[in-house]
Amino acid sequence: MPYNEEFNQEYSKRVLRGAQIIEKGIEPKQLTHNSFEIPSQSKDLNYIVTCYANSWRCTCPDYQFRHVTCKHIHAVTLWQKLSRKLEEDHKKVSVFAPSLDNGITCKFCGSSDIIKYGKKNGRQNFMCKLCARKFVLNQGFEGMCYDPRIVATTLDLYFKGVSLRKISDHLKQFYGLRIDHSTIHRWISKYTDVIEAYVASLEPDLGNIWHTDEMKMKIGGEWRWLWNVMDERTRFQLVSVITKTREIQDAKKAFRKSKEVGGKKPMLMVTDGLASYKKAFNSEFYDHHQSCKHVADVGLQESLNNVLERMHGSIREREKVMRGIKVDDTPILPMNQIYYNFIRPHQGLKGKTPAEAAGVGISEENKWERLLDASIKHKN
């Protein structure tokens, strides 16, 4: 390997590891105007980082023996940048719709003079004082003969890897319901659009290190590329884009959409060594202030870009159950992204969902029902 290429890879690693120190919540302690104390990641001691005449130094072995800009220096400079931009970058985080009993009116006479009237099968009942009739909220499910809980159950089972026909059999065995597998597929298509519109209105509070990777998959018997962008701190999946090729314009499409969803640029974008990424990054993220840096040529064996690999594995599992995806505009992939962000808890997030980690999630146990309810209210 040429010396320059090896040097650039080592530099990129130190930039990323310095940023990861800050992402873990470790803040340098400022000792003087130009000196900082930062704990070691492997030993029970602290290193001193100093700056003289725009030249940084550190007491760690990496700097002392190799005379390179170590991860501790990168961590301090990133922390300084974040501190200066804290107020500027602060964003108000959207919250979910208010509780169900706010603004409820009787579905029979329209009166707002109603009271809670106990629970049945886990659902809140209401009674109208004017017409004395009892009802439950069923917003968005009018005209359907099935309980919203059944719809939520089918969605949850499907995105846990159960096939449509097996879900149909499950509903028959345990609920005595005869629901055809085609009906379940229509539910998935219908509520994907509704939930997607609601999720697009949220403003997740994301970290400053994003990862991008592409995976090859068959759709309708032809090979396609699925581009995914994920935030490292929250594991929130920003983008899932399908393209026929993996050229520069395809990578630009994924980067552009990630900026729209995230509402900002990250400070580090981590990718593999695909040539399309470099030109796409320069087009979408580069500026003269170098507010966003590109860490490329990162192999999975270095454990720097495999935060996406687990998600890719879940997509492969879903694809296997469906025996392949049939069309490019399938509702399966966007709903799988919603399931990954809002429903599925992550061990790496201490049991939270990525949406909860990003400040826009649902803390209740019946996440599908709450997500459906909030999405339908947003639509109306």
Token reading at 300: 């999975």
> pLDDT value at position 3?
52
Q: Where are the alpha helices (DSSP H) in 53-147?
A: 61-66, 71-89
Tokens 């003087």 belong to which residue? Answer: 32
Query: pTM, whole model, 2 decimals?
Result: 0.68
> pLDDT value at position 139?
53
**Cβ–Cβ under 8 Å, residues 242 and 215:** no
Per domain, the residue ranges of the chain are: 3-89, 101-136, 200-379
> pLDDT value at position 228?
92
CA dist 75 and 22 (Å) reads: 6
CA dist 16 and 37 (Å) reads: 19
Token reading at 18: 């310095």
> pLDDT value at position 301?
46
User: Interior CA angle at 260 toward 78 and 207, to 5°?
Assistant: 30
Q: Domain 200-379 maps to which CATH number in 3.30.465.10, 3.30.420.10, 3.40.50.2020, 3.40.250.10?
A: 3.30.420.10
> pLDDT value at position 119?
65
Below-50 pLDDT ranges, the chain: 87, 89-101, 121-122, 143, 300-302
User: Interior CA angle at 270 toward 269 and 274, to 5°?
Assistant: 110
User: Interior CA angle at 226 toward 223 and 228, to 5°?
Assistant: 165
